[in-house]
Structures are given as structure tokens and as C-alpha cells.
Amino acid sequence: MIKRFTLTALAFGFCLSAFAQDTPDAAVVQKIRKEGLENSKAMNIAFNLTDVSGPRLSNSPGLKKAQEWAVKQLTDWGLKNAHLEAWGTFGKGWQIDKYYAATTLPYYRAIIASPKAWTPGTNGPIKSEVILIKADSVADLAKYKGKLAGKIIMMDQGTPLTSGIKPDFSRYADTTLAQMAAAKPQAAGARQRPAGGPMADRMAQMMKMREVRAAISAMLVEEKVGLILTYARGGQGTFFTSNGASYALDAKPVSPELEVAAEDFLHILRLLRAGKPVEVEADIKTSFYDQDPQGYNVIAEIPGTDKKLKDEVVMIGGHFDSWHAATGATDNAAGSTVMMEAMRILKAIDFKPKRTIRIALWSSEEQGLFGSRGYVAKHFGDPKTMVLTPDQKKISAYYNLDNGTGKIRGVYLQGNAAAGPIFQSWLTPFADLGATTITINNTGGTDHQAFDAVGIPGFQFIQDPADYNTRTHHSNMDTYDRLVEDDLKQAATIIASFVYNTSQREAQIPRKELPAPQPARP
């Protein structure tokens, strides 16, 4: 297969020298391949993070259990200084202790649903006719005042389902990868949008809708509503979940709320719109945890051995937290598993790195990259001011994995053209495993951004989509069964090799121009 990658004129000047010094050691790569592909422990790691630990919602008992297991496992493999490190204040933890709901009229039917994160339970079993609320404003609720105490309600809204015509599971086509490889660097400021216009109008509309929803929510609390049934995005029994309330220690009270799978919600909605009575019974118990509001990351190291380079660091990571409706297998036990397995591989081949290798398993990524941003702010600098610490210069690169179970197809350069020839050379031994593509493109939404924001080379790998966006991402179907073992083996092997090469390289990974300060938005 022809290697395709895009280089700027600046990066082209480095091409020949980069290839010369970055040709991987074939013997070491073979050791890594053998350990990663033939002696993998990836599925056992994933089993402990999902089936054993359960959901890993931020600051929940499940997350704490998984973190403690990871610290012990990393220590048992021989990593040093494995510990939990606080990154800052998060807020309350939460978990589901009990959930049951079903229609009992016009006939019995169990409901596929989940309590929304950080919402209270029903304080015991409840049963009532479902009241259909038709309201676009708080004023519209006036006619229901005094009639909702203890009742189960649902809003008159819901999008009809359409049958899917695309398969859930997919891999990148060669043509798509070629397009990614052929992408050109974006001009400075190309992503900036002009003030005003349609985007500003949409934002204003969204803010108004949020204000209305907050006001309606407050009124429903005052009315002492027994339970709210909410339409969940998804279909075919899959629903995608989110938080239904704030996790702040001083958060205002909210009503109990169930996020209901589309088929069950629409079933009830059709009956109510037709004037048919529907009765639902439910029993929900949730618990809040506020004894320790701090958020924690899992940190561990393989110490460097070179006198000149041991204080420099190569970092890898992925977020450890998940949502609560399943066990967070593809988001992101998969990425965390791969990173732990990469560290195990390097220890198993008795690798003595020149630079220190550090793994970080982040918490509270799902709420805003809090774990990685807190760690970066503590250790490397503040992107709002670009006041940087001395340690910022000691990080050669940070590698992240957080796009599901799909195998690695290449690397997003995040605009760092000078790293292109280096990574292309490092991918060469894995062309037979489908990893060939280097793209100048950025990708977002995960923890490498925290490093990139303070000028540290931070990268996310290109991964096959699999069924991440169609079936598992933030859904009740994100379970161990969705993991593809061969893909996890391949990813861990490639990342272990990247870490090896980065730790042994004479120079650090080239850096982009330092970003400008990014003050907080008003």
C-alpha cells in the first residue's frame, strides 16, 4: 500500500533526517509485537474495569473501585509510584441502587430506561396514571398547579423512529483514509466564526430554552412530582444517556427522572395522545456521595534510566470515568485498557527507557476534561495565561486513546506537521495491521486537548468507527461484549512501540508554535 501523508514545506526539510534517526529497532518492535499480540492481557483488564467494577460515573463507588484496582495492578506489574492524585474539586458522586419501572395499564410491560445521573429516587414504590404535560413555558403549567403531587408525568414531545439503513459496525474505507492523509493544514484563524449571524441566533435560542427548562424543573419540584419520564435519544432498545442534574455540592433539588428508551416512551405517548389511560409503577433508589468531593487521576511510571534524559517524560493516557447506564466498555474502558496493556507490554519485555514513561487514567472527562485539565494546570501551566512551569519543557509527547474499541489506523497530527515523518516511520512496521495513515487534521473532545492547549505535543490516534457512534457511545449497550479483542491487542502493541520510540529518541517530539493565551469566555 502506498504511504500517504501531507507535509508542509517546513516539515519537508526535516523529512530525511527524521527518517534516518527514527527508523524503529526491528528487534525491539518484534518483542513488542510478540508480547502484545500473543500474550495479551487486554481482555482481562477490560473485564475488571467493566464487569467487575461496574459503571464508573465521576466520584461514584464504581469509579473508586476501578481506580484502586488499577493502582494495585500497575504496582503488581512493577510500575513505580502508582497512586491516586487529586486534580481538584469535582462534587458529589452518585449511583443507582435500585431501578424498576413498568406500565401496568393498559397491560404490563417492563420499561427500558435508566434514572438520569444525579437525580433522586422515588422514596419507595409509586404508582399512578401518567399525566401528559403540554407546556412550552412556565405559564403553560398553570393549569396543572396543585394536580401533580406524587404523579408520574411526561412532556408531550418525542421524535418518531425511522428504520436504519446503515450497518451499526463499520471500518474506515481506504478512500476515507486517503482523504484524511491528503488534508492540508488550516490557515491560522480558519476555525474562528464571525460574531453574530445564524450561529449567535441559535445560541441565544438555546439559552432561552435552557432558561425555560430550568424554570419548569423548579416548578415541578415545588409541585412534588413523583417521577418524570424523559424521551431518550436512540432506537432498537438502545438509549443514550446524560446527567439530569448538577453534581455540585450546593446543587438545587430536582425531581426523580427516568430516561426512557424511544420505543417505550413513544408507546406511552401514543396511548396518551389517543386519550387512553396509561398507568406506570416504579421503584427507584439512588445514593449521593459527598464525603470526599475531590476528583482523582490514576498515575504510575516506568522510571527513566539515562542520566541526561531520565527527568524528561513520555505520557500516555485515556479517561477512566464513564456514564452510568452500562459499564463504559468502549467509552472508555477500551482506551484505558489499551494504555494499561501498553505499560504491561513494556515491563514484560524488560524495557529500560531513557526517558520516564508515565501513564495517567483521567477522571471526569465526561463532564469537561476535568481530570486532564486539572493535572496539566497543576504540573505544566495555565492555558488562560500561558504562564508555564519548568516541567512543561520536560514532556516529549502525550498519547491518548478515546474513540471506542476500533483498531488504530494512524495518527491525528493536531496540526504538528513536523511530527508527520517521524510517526510515518514508526507506523511502517504495523502496515500489515492496518495502521498507515498520518493526517495533519485535528480531532477534539478528549484529553489530548489539555496538553495541546499549553504547547505540549498531544495526539489522539485514528481509530475505526466500529459501532461507537451508532450503538455504544454513552449508551445502555456500552458493555464488555462490544469490545473487539484483536483491535485492542493491535492498539496496545502500536502504542507500546510509539512509547518505546519516543522514550529512546535523541530529541523530543517537535513542538508547534506556543498557543496564545485563551482567557475564559464571558
For residue 215, what is the domain's CATH number?
3.50.30.30
Looking at the 3D structure of the chain, how many domains does it have? 2
Q: Strands, E, within 339-449: which ranges?
A: 356-362, 381-382, 387-388, 395-400, 408-412, 437-439
Structural domain contains residue 173: no
Range of the domain at 477: 26-90+295-410+446-504
Q: What is the DSSP letter of 149?
A: B
Question: Which ranges constitute the DSSP H helices of 58-99?
Answer: 61-76
Phi, psi dihedral angles at 348 (to 5 degrees): -65, -30
Please give the pLDDT value at position 7.
Answer: 41
Give whole-number Cα distances, 26 to 9, 31, 389, 505, in Å.
30, 9, 37, 15
Structural domain contains residue 272: yes
CATH assignment at residue 379: 3.40.630.10
Structural domain contains residue 125: yes
Structural domain contains residue 1: no
User: How far is the C-alpha of 484 from the C-alpha of 421, rounded, in Å?
Assistant: 30
342 and 306, same domain (yes or no): yes
53 and 102, same domain (yes or no): no
396 and 482, same domain (yes or no): yes
378 and 498, same domain (yes or no): yes
85 and 98, same domain (yes or no): no
Where among 289, 319, 345 does a domain terminate? 289
304 and 351, same domain (yes or no): yes
Structural domain contains residue 44: yes
DSSP β-bridge partners for residue 475: 240
Structural domain contains residue 178: no
Longest dimension (CA), the chain: 79
Structural domain contains residue 43: yes
- Are the beta carbons of 310 and 354 closer than 8 angstroms? yes
236 and 279, same domain (yes or no): yes
330 and 233, same domain (yes or no): no
Structural domain contains residue 5: no
66 and 109, same domain (yes or no): no
User: How far is the C-alpha of 6 from the C-alpha of 425, rounded, in Å?
Assistant: 14
User: How far is the C-alpha of 370 from the C-alpha of 293, rounded, in Å?
Assistant: 13
456 and 471, same domain (yes or no): yes
DSSP β-bridge partners for residue 2: none
102 and 131, same domain (yes or no): yes
Torsion of CA 94, 400, 405, 495, to 10 degrees: -140
320 and 398, same domain (yes or no): yes
Please give the pLDDT value at position 158.
Answer: 85
Per-residue pLDDT of the chain (522 residues; tens, 9 = 90+): 333 333 443 444 444 444 456 888 999 999 999 999 999 999 999 999 999 999 999 999 999 999 999 999 999 999 999 999 999 999 999 999 999 999 999 999 999 999 999 999 999 999 999 999 998 887 888 899 999 999 999 999 888 888 766 788 999 999 999 999 999 987 654 444 444 556 667 767 767 677 778 888 889 999 999 999 999 999 999 999 988 799 999 999 999 999 999 999 999 999 999 999 999 999 999 999 999 999 999 999 999 999 999 999 999 999 999 999 999 999 999 999 999 999 999 999 999 999 999 999 999 999 999 999 999 999 999 999 999 999 999 999 999 999 999 999 999 999 999 999 999 999 999 999 999 999 999 999 999 999 999 999 999 999 999 999 999 999 999 999 999 999 999 999 999 999 999 999 999 999 999 999 987 665
Please give the pLDDT value at position 6.
Answer: 39
